[in-house]
Structure 1
Amino acid sequence: MKKNIALIFALIGWFALIAQYYLHIENRTTSLIEANLRFFTYFTILVNFIITLYFTSIVFKKQKSKDEKPGILTALTVYITIVGFIYQVILRGTWQPTGLQRVVDELLHSVMPILTIIFWYLFENKKSVKYSQIPKWALFPILYLVVILARGTFSGFYPYPFVDVSTLGLPKVLINSLFVTIFFFTISVLYIRIGKALKK
């Protein structure tokens, strides 16, 4: 059952990522190299890519192999929850995609978050997830922020308007980042608490 569900979720994830990459390259206004670099500066793309790889790994995992360390799936679920929440609350109204782009947009920002939460609910070893793991989970988004801000100073490109230093200024961007960080820790704690409550 777990592998079958993971296969379906992985196929949806790969379709969304490949289609988004095609659209991104097809509609690029920069060089191919720059377009590729920009594609992988989107947190949405990185998180969906990692989660799709995770689902794929479940499909090809041997039956007798040990389950993954508790907390990995919870961390991924926290990441994709933030992706979905920020898109629905902040970014959805900033553009109106149509056609294939609209389908892909919904898959990456709405469908994949829901599917990941379902997978977390069904298969995470919730009672073994610890609050002490949260700082480790935070390393990825913090490193991501440092990289996109550093790259933005040279390229002038920022993947999201709330981290656009050229428009908002560094102090405002740092304040926005602080709010996202607080939200990250809040969501992480909630998932652990809900997980433990469900196990009880």
Structure 2
Amino acid sequence: MTDKTRAWRILIALVAAAGPILQYGLMAYDETLATLPAKTVEFFSYFTILSNTLAAIALAAPLVAPESRLALWSEQAGPRAAIATYLAITAVVYHTMLAHTWDPHGLRLAATTLNHTITPAAFLVDLALRGGQGEARWIAALKSMAFPALFGAWTLAHGAATGFYPYPFMDVAKRGYPAVLVTIVQMGVAFALVCLIFVALLRVRSRAALTLKPSAL
């Protein structure tokens, strides 16, 4: 790994971690010791936070503990395609469905921009530049649905117990279970389709690299 490559990887790992950390700090600032635990659970009930945290862990693990199982997993093409999918959908959903619902300023704007724009863009650039280790297999698209499926199940369970729903389109109290369940299924399909696109791009990238390699010798 060259110094420039390492510097780039450290930079995007820090960027990916900065968004959730800043967002949590802003939330915790307004809470008391009595309310902080419940708000912390709510904080980690946002898919945005989960996707950005997963990206930060996946980017940092190979730098901190390169021989660990987590690091080896996070460098594989399939997991990287899945994480790119989560971040891409996070960015698209926010900018098309949620951004107009509020008007953040200052540090809140900084945290929002990191989580919904900068980190997704940085990870996609990193995916394009470095690809992933091993073959990008089509089954990765099916596997990528597990994370959002668990998120959907958690959201419904947590919402039934507390009445808290992180996003309007998942609010059972306002939309009802049938509509929300349809939305969850639709989003699951969307995750799989987007992941298929990233897998296809990684396969093309890998084949192009193999084709160009002999001419570079």
TM-score, length basis structure 1: 0.91
Select the residue among 17, 31, 36 that pairs with 1:14: 17
Q: Flag the structure with larger Rg.
A: 2
Q: Which letter maps to 1:56? A: A
- Once the two structures are superposed, the pairs formed by residues 45-84 of structure 1 within 5 Å of their partners are 45-62=49-66, 68-84=75-91
Q: Does residue 155 of structure 1 match 2:162?
A: yes
Aligned match of 1:4 = 7
- How far the C-alpha of 1:4 sits from its partner, in A, is 1.8
Specify every segment of 5 or more residues in structure 2 that has no aligned partner in the other structure, as ranges: 209-217
Runs (4+) off by over 4 Å: none
- Contact 2:78 2:137 (8 Å CA) reproduced: yes
Please say which of residues 105-114 and 19-28 is displaced more in the overlay.
Answer: 19-28
- Alpha-carbon spacing, 1:43–1:66, altered in 2? closer, same or farther (3 Å): closer
Please say which of residues 141-150 and 67-76 is displaced more in the overlay.
Answer: 67-76
- How far the C-alpha of 1:28 sits from its partner, in A, is 4.5
Select the residue among 175, 178, 191 that pairs with 1:171: 178
- Alpha-carbon spacing, 1:76–1:131, altered in 2? closer, same or farther (3 Å): same
How far, CA to CA, are the matches of 2:133 and 2:189 in structure 1? 22
- Contact 2:20 2:49 (8 Å CA) reproduced: yes
- Contact 2:140 2:199 (8 Å CA) reproduced: no
How far, CA to CA, are the matches of 2:153 and 2:60 in structure 1? 29
Aligned match of 2:96 = 89
Q: Does residue 182 of structure 1 match 2:185?
A: no
How far, CA to CA, are the matches of 1:131 and 1:146 in structure 2? 25
- How far the C-alpha of 1:61 sits from its partner, in A, is 4.0
Q: Secondary structure at the match of 2:7?
A: helix
How far, CA to CA, are the matches of 2:15 and 2:40 in structure 1? 22
How far, CA to CA, are the matches of 1:97 and 1:62 in structure 2? 38
Q: Secondary structure at the match of 2:119?
A: helix
TM-score, length basis structure 2: 0.85
- Alpha-carbon spacing, 1:62–1:177, altered in 2? closer, same or farther (3 Å): closer
- How far the C-alpha of 1:127 sits from its partner, in A, is 7.2
How far, CA to CA, are the matches of 1:3 and 1:51 in structure 2? 17
- How far the C-alpha of 1:156 sits from its partner, in A, is 0.2
Identity of aligned residues (%): 27
Specify every segment of 5 or more residues in structure 1 that has no aligned partner in the other structure, as ranges: none
Q: Secondary structure at the match of 1:128?
A: coil
